[in-house]
A = this chain, B = another copy of it.
Amino acid sequence: MSIEKLLEENKQKYEDELKEFLSIPSVSARSEHKEDMARCADWLKGKLGDLGMKAEVISTKGHPVVYAELIDAGKSAPTVLVYGHYDVQPVEPLDEWESPPFEASVRGGRMYARGTADDKGQVHIHMKALEAYREAKGTPPVNLKFLFEGEEEVGSVNLEPFIRDNADRLACDVTVVSDTPMLAEDLPSICVGLRGMIYTEVRLAGPRQDLHSGQYGGGVVNPANALAEILAQLKDENGRVTVPGFYDAVKDPSPAEKKAYAEIPMTEEHFREEAGVPAIGDGEVGVHFIERIWARPTLDVNGLLSGYTGEGAKTIIPAKSMAKISMRLVPEQDPNAIREAFEGYVRSLKPEGVEMEIDFYASGLPWAVDPAGPVFKAAASAVEGVFKREPLFIREGGSIPIVPMIEQILETPLLLLGFALPGCNLHSPNEWMSLDLYHKGIDIITRLYDELANELGE
C-alpha cells in the first residue's frame, strides 16, 4: 500500500491512540500528578517498543525521561534525534473548559484537550510517522533516536545533566523539535528563533497577619499597595522594561528579517481577534507588533494574589502579597545577567515596612538561527511536498529553553518544525490541535526521513 493511502486509512486509528495518550493527566508542576507522570512514561515506552524501537524509561531527580532508538539505517545514514515532552501545563481555571481537559473531544476539525498542541500531539506525530513509514516502506533511511522528557513545563531542570551525561548516546546529525506553531493553517512555516525567559515570584510580607483597615489604615505599609507600586515601576510609559541594562545586549533582527515580518500575511486585526482582546496594545511604542511578540523582550505579570478575594467586602490590610512575573528575552540577552539586574532593581524599589522575598523558578536562553544549509533545505522540501507551497521562516515569541541547550551540547544543527497553530490556547483552557495539521505533520515527518537521508547521507 502506498504511504499516502495508508496514512489516509489510518487517520481514525491514530486519533484514537492520541486520545488515549491525552487522557493521562501528566501535569508536571503538581506533585499530586507524580504517579500519572510515571504512568505516561510507561505508556510511551510500550508504544515505542511496538514501533520496533529499543525503548526505556530513565529516572531523573524529577520526572523520568523516555528514550528510544532505532539504529537500523546503517552507518552511512544520518542520525536524527527527535526531542519532545510528554508533560503538560496545569489546567486551571477548570470551569472555562468546554470539554474536560483530559477527555479529548473533536469539534470542527480540532481535537480539544490539554497537551494536544503542547506537546503530546506533536510527540505523537513522530511516533505515527515512524509507524506509517515502517508499514508502507520498511526501515527508514535515517537512524532515529527519540528523547521525550517530562519536565519541559517546569523548566527542564534535569534535562541538561541528562544530555551532558549521555552526549555520546544522543550523538546525531540533526535534532528535530516539534513544539511550535505554523503561522496559519495554509501558511506552512519553520521556526528560526525563540525568546528566552526568566520566571520569578516576588513576595511581600507586612503585618504579622491581616489587619483591620480602619484601625491601621494610614499607619502601616500595605503590602498590596506596595506590590502594585513596585510592579508599576517595572515598565515606563513607552512600554519599555526599566530593569537597568535590560536592553543592552538586545540584538536587532536583520533588516531582511524585519522586512519579512512586515510582509507576513497577518494583520493587527487578525491578531487582535485571535488573541480575543478589546484592542491591540502594550509592548514598545512604535515597534511593529510582529517584531514585538517575536523579537523584542518583554515583562508580564502572570499572577497576583493578596488579601481578601472572595465575595463582597472585607476591610483588611493584607499581611502579604505575591506576584509571579516572567520576562521574555531575545538574542543576545543573558538570563543570568538579567536575573541579577532584576533582583537588584526590584529590591531597590521595596519600601520600608515590608519584607521581600524573590524566587526564580525557571530560565532559558533565547535562540536564533540562520536557515541555510542542507537541514533547512530538507525540511523545506518535506513541508512543500505536503503543502504544495514553500514554508516561511518565522520566529516564535515563546521559549523552549532546551533548544539552545541541546544545540550547544550536541553541537549539531537543530530544526524547529512544529504543527500547532496560533490561537490554539497553549497553557490556557480549551487547548486544541488542528487534525488537518496533525495528519499533515505525520506525512511531513515521513518525507523528512527521505529528504534528510538525501541531503545528509554519505
Which residue numbers of A lie inside 8 Å of B, CB to CB? 29-31, 89-90, 92-93, 96, 154-155, 181, 195, 197, 199, 205-222, 224-225, 227-229, 231-235, 271, 275-284, 289, 292-293, 296-318, 321-324, 326, 328, 351-355, 361-362, 396-399, 422, 425-430
Could you say which residues of chain B place their CB within 8 Å of the CB of A430?
209
Distance of A224 Cα from B302 Cα, bound (Å):
7
| Cβ of A440 to closest chain B Cβ, rounded Å | 21
Query: Given that A232-B233, A313-B199, A313-B324 are contacting pairs, would A221 and B303 also be in contact in the complex, using a CB cutoff of 8 Å?
Result: no
Interface centre among A214, A303, A305, A355 (most CB of B within 10 A): A214
Cross-chain contact A302 with B318 (CB below 8 angstroms): yes
The 9 A-B pairs with the shortest beta carbon distances in the complex, nearest first, are: A214-B398, A208-B276, A232-B232, A281-B353, A228-B231, A224-B301, A218-B283, A303-B307, A218-B298
| Pick from B155, B209, B280, B304: contact of A224, CB under 8 Å | B304
Task: Please state if A427 and B281 are interface contacts (CB–CB under 8 Å).
Answer: no
Contact of A308 among B92, B297, B354, B426 (CB under 8 A): B92
Contact A210-B282, Cβ < 8 Å, known A220-B277, A302-B308, A315-B326: no
| A311 partner, pick from B30, B213, B284, B323, beta carbons under 8 A | B30
CB distance from A450 to the nearest CB of B (A): 32
- Chain B residues positioned under 8 Å from A427 (CB to CB): 210-213, 314-316
What is the CB-to-nearest-CB distance from A255 to chain B, in angstroms, rounded to a whole number? 20
Shortest Cβ gap from A283 to chain B (Å): 4
With contact pairs A218-B397, A353-B279 given, residues A428 and B211 touching in the complex (Cβ less than 8 Å): yes
Task: Give the Cβ gap from A29 to chain B, nearest Cβ, in Å.
Answer: 4
B217 and A301: CB pair below 8 A?
Answer: no
Cα of A205 to Cα of B276 in the assembled complex, Å: 11
Q: Known contacts A233-B232, A307-B324: does B276 contact A207 (CB below 8 Å)? A: yes
Residue of A90, A218, A315 with most chain B CB atoms under a 10 A cut-off: A218
By beta carbon, the residue of chain B nearest A89 is B314
Query: Do B422 and A280 touch across chains, with their CB atoms under 8 A apart?
Result: no
User: Which of B208, B280, B284, B307 touches A220 (beta carbons < 8 Å)?
Assistant: B280
Query: Contact at B217–A293, with CB atoms within 8 Å?
Result: yes
Please name all residues of chain B whose beta carbon is closer than 8 Å to the beta carbon of A222 when the two chains form the complex.
282, 300-301
What are 15 A-to-B residue pairs whose CB atoms are below 8 Å?
A30-B311, A96-B209, A216-B275, A217-B300, A218-B282, A220-B275, A221-B281, A224-B301, A224-B303, A225-B231, A228-B301, A278-B353, A301-B307, A309-B324, A313-B361
Q: Is the CB of B315 within 8 A of A306?
A: no
Name the distance in Å between A226's Cβ and chain B's nearest Cβ.
8
The CA-CA distance from A298 to B278 in the complex, in Å, is 33
Complex-state Cα separation, A219 to B296, whole angstroms = 10
Complex contacts, A316 vs chain B, CB 8 Å: 302-303, 427-428
**CA of A391 to CA of B280, assembled, Å:** 62
Q: Which residues of B contact A29 (CB under 8 A)?
A: 310-314
Chain B residues near A355: list those with CB within 8 A. 278
Q: Are A195 and B214 in contact (CB under 8 A)?
A: yes
Q: Among A206, A297, A309, which residue has the most Cβ atoms of chain B within 10 A?
A: A309
Contact A293 B218 (CB under 8 A): yes
Instruction: Tell me the bound Cα distance from A455 to B397 in angstroms.
Output: 78
A209 to B352, CA, bound (A): 37
Complex Cα spacing A10 to B166, Å? 79
| Least CB separation from A431: chain B residue | B212
Give complex CA distance A279, B356 in Å: 13
Cross-chain contact A221 with B351 (CB below 8 angstroms): no
Interfacial chain B residues near A283, Cβ < 8 Å: 218-219
Q: Which of B218, B228, B309, B353 contacts A284 (CB 8 A)?
A: B218
